Chains A and B, each alone.
Chain A
Amino acid sequence: MKPFFFISAVISACVSVCIVLFMIILGLPLFREGLFFSMLTSPWNPSNGVFGLYPMIIGTLGISSLALVFGFPLSLGTAALISGLAPKPLAAVLRKTVQAMTGIPTVVYGFIGVFLLVPLIRNLAGEGSGMCILSSALLLSVLISPTMILTFSDTFDQVPVKTRMAATALGATPVQTFLWVVLPASKKGLVTGLILGMGRAMGDTLIALMISGNAIAVPDSLFSPARTLTAHIALVIASDFDSPEFKTLFACGLVLYGFTALSTLAVRAIDTVFRSES
Chain B
Amino acid sequence: MSRMEKIRIDDLSFAYGKRTILNRVEARFMENTITAITGPSGQGKSSFLMVLNRLWETIPGAHVTGRVNIRFDGEFRDIHHRSMPLTRLRRTVGMVFQTPNPLPMSVAGNVAFPLKLAGTGKRKNTEERVEKALSRVHLWDEVKDRLKDDARKLSGGQQQRLCMARALVFEPEILLLDEPASSLDAKAAAGIEDLMLELKNTCTLIVVSHSMDQVRRTADRVLTLESGELHGCESS
Contacts and interface: CB of A to CB of B under 8 A. Distances in A.
Interface of A: 88, 159-160, 162-173, 176, 180-181, 184-185, 278
Contacts of B136: none
Closest 8 CB pairs of A and B: A171-B90, A185-B104, A166-B101, A162-B101, A171-B87, A169-B95, A171-B91, A170-B114
A180 B90 contact: no
B103 A181 contact: yes
Given A88-B60, A180-B116, A278-B150, A168 B90 contact: yes
A162 B99 contact: yes
Interface string B85-123: 011101100010101011111000000011011100000
Interface of B: 53, 55, 58, 60, 86-88, 90-91, 95, 97, 99, 101-105, 113-114, 116-118, 150, 152, 163, 166-167
B114 A171 contact: yes
B90 A163 contact: no
A171 B97 CA distance: 15
A220 to B, nearest CB: 45
B102 to A, nearest CB: 8
A160 B206 CA distance: 26
Is the contact region of chain B dominated by helix, strand, or loop, or is it mixed? helix
Contacts of A159: 104
A168 B103 contact: no
Given A162-B97, A278-B150, A170 B104 contact: no
Nearest to B90: A171
Nearest to A170: B114
A12 B118 CA distance: 53
A169 B113 contact: no
A109 to B, nearest CB: 35
Nearest to B57: A168
A172 B87 CA distance: 7
B96 to A, nearest CB: 9
Given A170-B90, A171-B91, A171-B118, A163 B104 contact: yes
B33 to A, nearest CB: 22
19 contacts: A160-B101, A163-B101, A163-B104, A164-B58, A165-B58, A166-B101, A167-B103, A168-B55, A168-B90, A169-B97, A170-B114, A171-B117, A172-B113, A173-B87, A180-B113, A180-B116, A180-B117, A181-B103, A278-B152
